[in-house]
C-alpha cells in the first residue's frame, strides 16, 4: 500500500490542494506490518513538509529543535539538551554556540554548580519559536481546510491514536 494507491495523486507542490481519498483501504493494508511502513512514510513526509514552514532560514532544523526544547522545557545544561535531543554533547555544543552567537539563547552560570552553565531561551529566541509555530499551524490549517469534513474527522481520530502510540 502506498499513498498513491488510495489518493488520486500526491500533491506535487506546496500550493496544490490535498486530494480527497476516493477508495477504501483494503483489509490487508490494515495489518500492523504493512500499515507501519506506510504510516512511517506518511508521517515522515508530513514532518519534512512542515519543517519548510519557519520564520527564518537563518537557523537550521537542528538549531530550531534545540530552541524549541528550551522553550518547552525551560533552562537546562548543554548535556541535558543533548540528551533531550538524542545527540552527543559535542555536536550540541556547536548548535548551542550558533544559537548564542545569534542571540537566541544565553548562557548563565549554574546557581548550584559554578563549573556548569545553564542555557535559556532569549526573547528573540522565543519570538523565533512562536513565529515558526504560527507559520506551521497556519500552513497545516490551510491544508486541513481543503479537506472534506469527513476526512478531517478521520485525522482528528488519528491524532488521538498517534499520540497514544507516541507516548506508550
- Mean pLDDT for the chain? 87
- Residue of higher predicted confidence among 50 and 13: 50
Given a cut of 90, whether residue 10 has pLDDT beyond it is no
Show me where the domains of the chain are located: 44-56+75-168
Which region among 107-116, 131-140, 146-155 has the lowest average model confidence (pLDDT)? 107-116
User: Which pLDDT belongs to residue 6?
Assistant: 43
Quick: pLDDT tens for 78-116.
999 999 999 999 999 999 999 999 999 999 998 888 888
> What's the CA gap between 25 and 129, in Å, rounded?
38
pLDDT surpassing 80 at residue 158: yes
User: In whole angstroms, what is the distance from residue 149 CA to residue 128 CA?
Assistant: 32
**What's the pLDDT band for 19 if we cut at 50, 70, 90?**
low
pLDDT for residue 117 = 93
Query: Under DSSP, is residue 120 helix (H, G, I), strand (E, B) or coil?
Result: strand
| Mean per-residue pLDDT, 22-43 | 81
How much is the pTM?
0.76
For the domain made up of 44-56+75-168, the CATH class stated in words is mainly alpha
For the chain, the first-to-last Cα distance in angstroms comes to 26
Segment 139-160 shows an average pLDDT of 95
27 or 58, greater pLDDT = 58
Cβ neighbours of residue 119 closer than 8 Å, sequence gap 6 or more: 70, 75, 76, 77, 78, 81, 96, 105, 106, 107
Q: Once rounded to an integer, what is the mean pLDDT over residues 30-34? A: 86
The Cα–Cα gap between 100 and 94 comes to 10
Q: pLDDT higher for 10 or 56?
A: 56
Amino acid at each position: 500500500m502506498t499513498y498513491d494507491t488510495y489518493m488520486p495523486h500526491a500533491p506535487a507542490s506546496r500550493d496544490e490542494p490535498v486530494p480527497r481519498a476516493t477508495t477504501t483501504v483494503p483489509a490487508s493494508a490494515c495489518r500492523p506490518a504493512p500499515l507501519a511502513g506506510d504510516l512511517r512514510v506518511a508521517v515522515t513526509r508530513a514532518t519534512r513538509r512542515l519543517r519548510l514552514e519557519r520564520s527564518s532560514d537563518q537557523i537550521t532544523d537542528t538549531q530550531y529543535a534545540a530552541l524549541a526544547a528550551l522553550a518547552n522545557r525551560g533552562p537546562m545544561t548543554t548535556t541535558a539538551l543533548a540528551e533531550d535531543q538524542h545527540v552527543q554533547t559535542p555536536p550540541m555544543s556547536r548548535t548551542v554556540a550558533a544559537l548564542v552567537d545569534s542571540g537566541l539563547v544565553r548562557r548563565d552560570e549554574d546557581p548550584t554548580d559554578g563549573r556548569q552553565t545553564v542555557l535559556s531561551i532569549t526573547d528573540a529566541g522565543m519570538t523565533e519559536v512562536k513565529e515558526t509555530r504560527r507559520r506551521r499551524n497556519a500552513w497545516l490549517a490551510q491544508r486541513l481546510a481543503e479537506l472534506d469534513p469527513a476526512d478531517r474527522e478521520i485525522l482528528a481520530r488519528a491524532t488521538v491514536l498517534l499520540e497514544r502510540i507516541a507516548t506508550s
